[in-house]
Chain A
Amino acid sequence: MTTAISTSPTMVQRRVWPWIVFLSYGVLLSVHLWNGFDFGSFFQSGVRIATPLLLAALGELIVEKAGLINIGIEGIVLMGAFGGFAAAYQLDSLWIGVGAGMLAGLLLAIMFAFLCVTLRNDQIVIGAALNFLAIGATGLLYQIYYASSGSTHTLEPFQEFELPWISGIPIIGPALFSQTALTYLAILITLVFVLLNLRTRIGFHLEAVGEHPRAADAAGIPVHRVRWAAVLIEGLLGGLAGASLSLASSNTFNEEMSNGRGYIALAIVIFGRWNPLGVLGASLFFGAVTALQLSLQATDIDWLRSNYPYLQMLPYLLTLMVLTFSIGKARAPSAMGKHYHRE
């Protein structure tokens, strides 16, 4: 019996990767020291910007792994941003805000799960409808409670928490160890995802439900329950992503503040090839590009400053390009977007 295991390419990759990382760090460090360009704060803002993208994309990842597609992640993020801001502002506690943001995201996720998993409606249509619902609901509540009073409402956001000693390492220190609590949380969740994916039966059950729900059902895995659970987790993570927008990346809520981040998260899942570490890499990439366009806006080149909308397009343009070029390479879960019911 042939057990053709194609270990060789991955083994090569494993040996090469540390070197690539090490070398690029060396290059950056020398530029940093010679030229004085502050890579540290550049990467710091890149990672900060990547945090909500990463959280939302992890949520979408688990849902797609389970064989669903929820473009309503955009609305979930927006709900989280509003819920987080409102609760934190009223009750004067950031962590209560975080919890409320997650619950607000959960609310939308419950609707999605009920409509699409239980009632088997079209996932794209429902996802789009939930996005509009979120825009309408958050906009209305914001108008009633905050905008109408005329004054701006801001709060004291999450501060960077510098981990002792290691935050002093050049470049890496500010980028990874001088972030808000929510960023550390996001990275922790990514690692949990990696472990779940590779080492536990939860990972296999998700895989089975997303690849071949009938086989999963025949093996005694409750397909609908697994899908419900995946959507609920997406709600919590998407809500957390939203809360990090209004409580860490800024200090207030704006209408439609998610601003397409949920859609970028959809692209990140594809770019990250349905793999938690891939999703982490893709999020950091998008974060870095956004940070780049922000720092380009701040340069003293007049043309760039006066034509800043072109720079703002950059992340979205990149989304399109990534989607164009990753077609055919990545393989989505076979049952993604398809309903499952017994014959």
Chain B
Amino acid sequence: MQDSGIEVLFQGINAWRLWQGMFVSLKLAAISMALSILLGIIMGMIMTSKNWLVKAICRLYLETVRIMPQLVLLFLVYFGAAKHLGIDISGELSAVIVFTFWGTAEMGDIVRGALESIPKHQYESSYGLGMKRGQTFVYIILPQTIRSLIPAAINLLTRMIKTTSLVVLIGVVEVVKVGKQIIDASRFEIPTAALWIYGAIFMMYFVVCFPISKLSAVLEKRLQV
């Protein structure tokens, strides 16, 4: 078994470097997700507007984000901004901008759906008890909204973690990039390195995303309304 090439994973600090790369991916996903949740809640509230113009703009934003591949958006921000606007932003910042832009749209739509799924009578019985609009939102509507959007939000988080693998193409050194470096460095001693490294990366994504999606299932049961 000496030639299988699996030893590439245990040479030097290779494993540690892969995890470091993974943390970069996770960091980008976490920052983008946190911003997306915050902005998405505001976006979702705007999306429930009855004004047709506001609605149309929101729709356009959401559809644009959904139709455009994230990779194109990344290139647009990273290369486009540098070339045409003369702004030199790092790959990581570009990634956060793009993923937040995407996440806010998706999260906004999730929040909109959750808000609209709350029956009108929930508002009415709250008003009927003499509660004000603000109180009704904070005590009655928001808690129910959060409960119903948790599964979809977690799903978005795992999608975001996976999509961060694209940032390798704008020069961010994350897990896939580290993997490539290791493969390149050991191309001659271990020709099968690619299989093991990419296999390991696959497992790493699984180790990270599986518990998150499990958590979603647990929360969904727990918080059942």
B and A form one assembly: no
Binding site for A on B (CB under 8 A): none
Binding site for B on A (CB under 8 A): none
